[in-house]
Structure 1
Amino acid sequence: MTSRPYVLLSCASSLDGYLDDATDRRLVLSNDADWDRVDEVRASCDAILVGANTIRRDNPRLLVRSAARRRRRVAEGRPESPVKVTITASGDLDPSAAFFATGEQLVYAPDGTATPGETVPMGERVDLAAVLADLAGRGVARLMVEGGTGTHTAFLTAGLADELHLAIAPFFVGDSDAPRFVHDGRFPWHAEHRATLVEIRAIGNVALHRYLLSQSEVDRHWLRAAIELSTRCPPSETAFAVGAIVVDAHGDELARGWSRESGGTEHAEEAALAKLDPADPRLAGATIYSSLEPCGRRASRPRTCTELILAAGIPRVVFALREPPTFVDGRGAELLAAGGVEVVELPDLAPAVREVNRELL
């Protein structure tokens, strides 16, 4: 059991970052196609969380709308819609709210709060990390957070979000009294440490921006891209197929390469680094993602990939599969760590690397 669920924040806002206007009418920010996208995301999750103010202001039902998606969930042994979750400091919730009408509900509140659904007492205050730990203990692996402003701010400033789906409506609200996407705060993502944009999609006249927020998900994104790159390698009976990508501290790709890219015997890390100026200052904060552990021993070149990485001053290496002793006993990870490099291994992606190299393994 993981310590917390995967947390996906979902939000629609105006061009100037507002979730609504200041009137009593609900502002429509999205369109039918985007609502269907949100419904698909809901159907993929185990629970949906909103703040108590969202229940009071918007009275959401938080159900999967598509009958086909509900049937698919039931066929998978899951309830028709995800568990509905809210957090309240006061317990001031209307028992007739749509949130409580159907399905399973969880209410996280201080001790003694009486609300419909199952109430989970949290002591004097509601702690987000404790909420997530409790949800994980209940089998929630994927949590969708749909707002509002205070809830989004709390998850983001605490660094407890893995992904953000931000749909931008093509108009301005221009009213400082209206609710914004987030309040002021100290966020982990700023000018020197940015979120990783992985998708921009036009959905009618709405633009979906999808960002990865947690380092673990950013690492998986780039490592999957490196593994996909390895499928370009020319076949060889004496060397593995490997892909490598160098990414700077801002999340921008600097270079990529793959084994035997030029038809010779170069390795993936070597091919990528050869495209960069060794004096490039961005290398000092970069990460190199390699589908296979960088080599620590080599017969075809005077310098190993481990030596090239150390010489480049790259402080972080992420790979999926330890180099099998098919050709050499490389020990690249140990040599890199001894050289002061942070080495991260993601063995859950190793089967994909083995599949690319199945003829040699």
Structure 2
Amino acid sequence: MPRPYVLLSAAVSLDGHLDDAGPQRLLLSGPADFDRVDAVRASADAILVGAGTIRADNPRLLVASPARRDARISAGRPEHPLKVTVSSSGELDPRARFWHTGGEKVVYTTDEGAGRLRRAGVPAEVVSLGAEVDWHRLLEHLHDVRGVGRLMVEGGGKVHTQLLRQQLADELQLVLAPLLVGDPQAPRLFGPGGYQGGRLRLVEVRAVEDVVLARYEPTAPGAGDAAVPADRHWLRIACDLAAQCPPSSTAFSVGAVVVAADGTELARGHSREGGDSVVHAEEAALAKITPDEPRLAGATVYSSLEPCARRSSRPMPCARLILDAGVRRVVTAWREPDTFVEAADGNGLLTGSGARVVVLPELADRAKEPNHHLGV
């Protein structure tokens, strides 16, 4: 299901703490980084914090810069982003500053917590997610009902941990402060548990006064029928590869990427690559990988167009090449139209042979762009 772009934002000490154990909040950043965070807030449609952050820090979560607030208003957006919190218990103080500053607020909770919040008179929309908090439903509600396209998550550690463990974070903005806390009782950014395999991708690193900002993106593909942020990243690359195809009036322009389970790119290719007028994208990518590559069994193939099930230019269609390579997960942006092959059903061939196919229609326009001359 479509959902917001989820950006996790946090500042930590050199030993990984969000704060110390004292009664006053430990300021890990300086004025320049606070201003950077304010700019990120201004770019967001909504800002989310956990209930623990409201209890511990009593934040307002506002855009501080008048110029940025004016720019939001000029663009037809609310002066401040929607403020969001999550509480399973619903045990939140209705006098907290979170509720009484800025614009609209919404709190996601359980059936039990919803009753408690309504009895307390919390001045916000209360949304129950059922017997327990379901992050997938929460993000879908924010996107579909509240129109949130970009969500900034400012903590705390429990919220960040849950979103990363469930592979729901598109980006992590981590600020490293030059100090050590050293207290085992102090809160840490991430808790124990299972996270994505492999390494995160470093997108940017820069100094902001005496702290260091590092931006990361996940790389590991999903393992099932649901898409994860890394799936969208790799499929966007496949769609962009389609633009490199030599033009043709008799074949689609398609890009493909093969990615191991730990997020390592194994190969990429595009239609008509290397002067071969009939080679398909998936075929070109798989040909670059040795057949005995053990990572193929857990890999995902990203193809801007549904892999072909029938073709006249080669004896083996791409869906069969994928299966014969041992790959059992494919992510694609759009189904093959009847332009050249009637009732093509590569996805059906794949799923009928036990592979998982994930279709991300939100990237269909990007995938079709190199094929507009074909009338699709």
Task: Check whether TM > 0.5.
Answer: yes
* Paired letter, 1:197: R
CA contact (8 A) 2:51 2:86 kept: yes
Change (3 A) 1:308 1:37: farther
> Does the residue aligned with 2:321 lie in a helix, a strand or coil?
helix
* Paired letter, 2:191: H
Residue number among 280, 298, 317 corresponding to 2:293 in the alignment: 280
CA contact (8 A) 1:110 1:125 kept: no
Q: What's the CA shift string for 1:89-134, capped at 9, x where partnerless?
A: 4745372636523433345545345255237386998735576676
Instruction: Give yes or no for the alignment of 1:201 onto 2:213.
Output: no
* Paired letter, 2:83: K
Q: Distance in 2 between matches of 1:198 and 1:152?
A: 18
Q: Distance in 2 between matches of 1:121 and 1:328?
A: 47
Change (3 A) 1:112 1:322: closer
Within a 5 Å distance, the mapping from 1:55-70 to structure 2 comes to: 55-70=54-69
Q: Distance in 2 between matches of 1:290 and 1:54?
A: 41
Q: Which residue of 2 aligns with 1:268?
A: 281
Q: Which residue of 2 aligns with 1:118?
A: 124
Aligned residues: 355
- Give the ranges of 4+ consecutive aligned residues of structure 1 lying more than 6 Å apart after TM superposition: 123-126
CA contact (8 A) 1:91 1:115 kept: no
Residue number among 254, 257, 270 corresponding to 1:245 in the alignment: 257
Within a 5 Å distance, the mapping from 1:333-344 to structure 2 comes to: 333-344=347-358
CA contact (8 A) 1:14 1:173 kept: yes
- RMSD of Structure 2 on Structure 1 (CA): 3.2
Q: Which residue of 2 aligns with 1:297?
A: 310
Change (3 A) 1:230 1:30: farther
> Does the residue aligned with 1:70 lie in a helix, a strand or coil?
helix
Q: Which residue of 2 aligns with 1:307?
A: 320
Instruction: Give yes or no for the alignment of 1:350 onto 2:364.
Output: yes
CA contact (8 A) 2:94 2:123 kept: no
Q: What's the CA shift string for 1:285-307, capped at 9, x where partnerless?
A: 00111111212222222322122
CA contact (8 A) 2:50 2:159 kept: yes
Change (3 A) 1:359 1:36: farther
* Paired letter, 1:161: L
> Does the residue aligned with 2:320 lie in a helix, a strand or coil?
helix
- Provide TM-score, normalisation by structure 1: 0.84
Q: Distance in 1 between matches of 2:371 and 2:138?
A: 42
CA contact (8 A) 1:110 1:123 kept: no
Instruction: Give yes or no for the alignment of 1:48 onto 2:52.
Output: no
CA contact (8 A) 1:85 1:106 kept: yes
Please state how far the C-alpha of 1:34 moved relative to its aligned partner.
Answer: 4.1
Change (3 A) 1:284 1:90: closer
Q: Distance in 1 between matches of 2:293 and 2:81?
A: 48
Residue number among 240, 254, 259 corresponding to 2:271 in the alignment: 259
* Paired letter, 1:58: D
- Gaps of at least 5 residues in structure 1 are none
Bigger mean CA deviation after superposition, 51-60 or 288-297: 51-60
Q: Distance in 1 between matches of 2:360 and 2:215?
A: 26
Within a 5 Å distance, the mapping from 1:1-361 to structure 2 comes to: 7-88=6-87, 89=89, 91=91, 93=93, 95=95, 97=97, 100-107=100-107, 109=113, 111-113=115-117, 114=120, 116-118=122-124, 120=126, 127-129=133-135, 138-141=145-148, 142-156=150-164, 159=166, 161-171=168-178, 172-184=180-192, 186-187=193-194, 189-190=195-196, 193-194=197-198, 197=201, 199-204=203-208, 205-212=211-218, 215-265=227-277, 266-329=279-342, 330-361=344-375
CA contact (8 A) 2:205 2:214 kept: yes
